[in-house]
């Protein structure tokens, strides 16, 4: 967990800041484990490692000290799950039936410390054609751009053209439970299907399995 703050506009030059974190229901406060400092050696950020997110609010206090004057403190209660940045779904696989147009997309939910239920997430899948622009270069063509929203951990994609190669990426957001409802990061692109530009002397396999 990274925390940052700015020095007060009128703070004396010798002002130094200290960050404390307290979990609700606990008496002890934890001071920052690793401060981030600016060019003047003033603490302006903090890194907490191995943070677990619970259902209670967390209390944060930034206190300042100076030899010349009193420094106004800043404090706030925060639901940590509301500011958690979700990682993309993992172990994304695509298995296509070359006789039918169907491709089965499967994945695993993002790993978070306070829930392991699929029902807590919704997913967005983006699929595009991948086409050869020259004999050496492959680029993404935006001719097809499919966005699908779903829950669970699998989905069926019906290919408009079984001779095309596709590129897929996914991201997740909280849909229930105590999970951040903002969309997280996109996954690494996954290629699947086959291209009609197959080199001579090579045949396409009957099933394609792609992973990231």
pLDDT at 44: 93
- Mean pLDDT, rounded, for 170-176: 88
Residue pair 211/93 in contact (Cβ under 8 Å)? The answer is yes
Statement: residue 185 has pLDDT above 60:
yes
Going by pLDDT thresholds of 50, 70 and 90, the confidence category of residue 149 is low
Burial of 53 (0-12, 13-18, 19+ CB in 10 A): buried
Burial class (CB in 10 A: 0-12, 13-18, 19+), 52: exposed
pLDDT the model gives residue 115: 65
Please report the pLDDT score of residue 97 as a whole number: 86
Look up the CATH superfamily of 93-192: Immunoglobulins (2.60.40.10)
pLDDT value, residue 188: 94
Chain mean position to CA 110 = 8
Higher pLDDT, 175 or 118: 175
Q: Residue 112: pLDDT band by 50, 70, 90 thresholds? A: confident
0.85 cut: is pTM over it?
no
For residue 70, pLDDT over 50 is answered with yes
Same fold, 2-82 and 93-192: yes
Domain 2-82: CATH superfamily, name plus number: Immunoglobulins (2.60.40.10)
User: What does the pLDDT average to over 68-76?
Assistant: 88
Close Cβ partners of 180 (under 8 Å, ≥ 6 residues apart): 81, 82, 83, 84, 85, 86, 173, 174
Residue 145 pLDDT more than 80?
no
| 211: confidence class by pLDDT, cuts 50, 70, 90 | very low
Helix (H, G, I), strand (E, B) or coil at 120: helix
Band of residue 56 on the pLDDT scale cut at 50, 70, 90: confident
Taking the C-alpha atoms of residue 182 and residue 169, their distance in angstroms, rounded to an integer, is: 17
Q: How confident is the model at residue 212 (pLDDT cuts 50, 70, 90)?
A: very low
| pLDDT of residue 135 exceeding 50 | no
For the chain, domain boundaries: 2-82, 93-192
pLDDT at res. 176: 77
Q: Strand, coil or helix: what is 10? A: coil
Cβ proximity of 105 and 168 under 8 Å: yes
Per cent of the chain over pLDDT 90 is 30
Cα–Cα distance for residue pair 176/91, rounded to 1 Å: 22
Instruction: Please name every residue paired with 172 in a beta bridge, in sequence order, or none if there are none.
Output: 123
More confidently predicted of 49 and 150: 49
Residue 160: predicted pLDDT:
85
For position 169, what pLDDT does the model report?
A: 92
List of residues 6+ apart from 23 with CB closer than 8 A: 54, 56, 58, 59
Rounded to whole angstroms, the Cα distance separating 81 from 87 reads 13
Instruction: Give the whole-angstrom CA distance, residue 119 versus residue 179.
Output: 11
- Per DSSP, the three-state class of 96 is strand
């Amino acid at each position: 967990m990274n925390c940052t703050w700015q020095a007060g506009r009128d703070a004396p030059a010798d002002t130094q800041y200290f960050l404390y974190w307290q979990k609700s229901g606990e008496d002890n406060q934890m001071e920052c484990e690793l401060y981030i400092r600016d060019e003047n050696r003033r603490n302006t950020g903090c890194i907490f490692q191995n943070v677990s997110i619970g259902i209670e609010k967390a209390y944060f206090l930034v206190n300042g000290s100076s030899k010349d004057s009193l420094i106004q403190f800043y404090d706030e209660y925060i639901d940590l799950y509301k500011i958690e940045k979700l990682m993309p779904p993992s172990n994304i696989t695509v298995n296509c039936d070359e006789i039918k147009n169907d491709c089965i997309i499967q994945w695993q939910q993002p790993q978070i410390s306070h829930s392991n239920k699929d029902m807590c997430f919704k997913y967005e899948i983006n699929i595009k054609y991948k086409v050869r622009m020259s004999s050496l270069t492959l680029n993404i063509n935006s001719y097809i751009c499919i966005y699908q929203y779903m829950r669970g951990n699998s989905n069926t994609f019906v290919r408009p053209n079984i001779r095309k190669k596709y590129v897929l990426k996914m991201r997740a957001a909280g849909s229930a439970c105590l999970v951040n409802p903002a969309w997280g990061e996109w996954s690494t692109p996954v290629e699947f299907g086959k291209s009609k530009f197959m080199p001579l002397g090579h045949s396409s396999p009957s099933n394609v399995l792609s992973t990231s």
